Amino acid sequence: MQWFFIALIAPVVHSIANFVDKILLSKYFRNFNLFVFIIYSAVTSIIMLPIFLFLGGIEVLQISSNNIFLLVAAGVCEAVAIYFYLFALYREDASVVVPFFQLIPVVSFILSRLILKETLSAQQIIGSIVIILGAALLSVEIEEGKKIKFRHFVILSMIIMAFLMAISGVLFKLVALGNNFWLSNFWETLGFALVGCSIFIFRRKDRKSFFSSIKIHKYKITLAVLLSEFFTLGGNVSLNYAFLLAPIALVRVVEGYQPIFVLVFGIIITKMFPRILQEKMGWRNLIPKILAIVIVFIGSYFVLR
Q: What is the pTM of this model?
A: 0.79
List pLDDT tens digits, range 81-93: 988 887 887 777 6
* Encoded amino acid at 227, one letter: L
- Integer CA distances (angstroms), 285 to 90, 229, 263, 279, 289, in order: 19, 28, 11, 9, 7
Q: How many residues does the chain have?
A: 305
pLDDT, one tens digit per residue, over 245-287 is 988 988 887 877 777 787 777 777 777 766 666 666 666 667 7
Domain that holds residue 80: 2-304
Top mean-pLDDT range of 2-11, 120-129, 214-223, 255-264: 2-11
Number of domains in the chain: 1
Q: What are phi and psi of 102, to 5 degrees?
A: -75, -5
Fill in the amino acid letter for 96.
Answer: V
Question: For position 32, what pLDDT does the model report?
Answer: 60
pLDDT above 70 (res 214): yes
Where does the chain have alpha helices with state H?
A: 2-23, 35-56, 65-89, 94-97, 103-115, 122-137, 152-176, 181-202, 204-243, 248-254, 258-272, 283-304
CA atoms within 13 A on the CB side of 109: 20
- State the pLDDT confidence band at 201, using cuts at 50, 70 and 90: very high
What CA–CA distance (Å, rounded) separates 277 from 172?
36
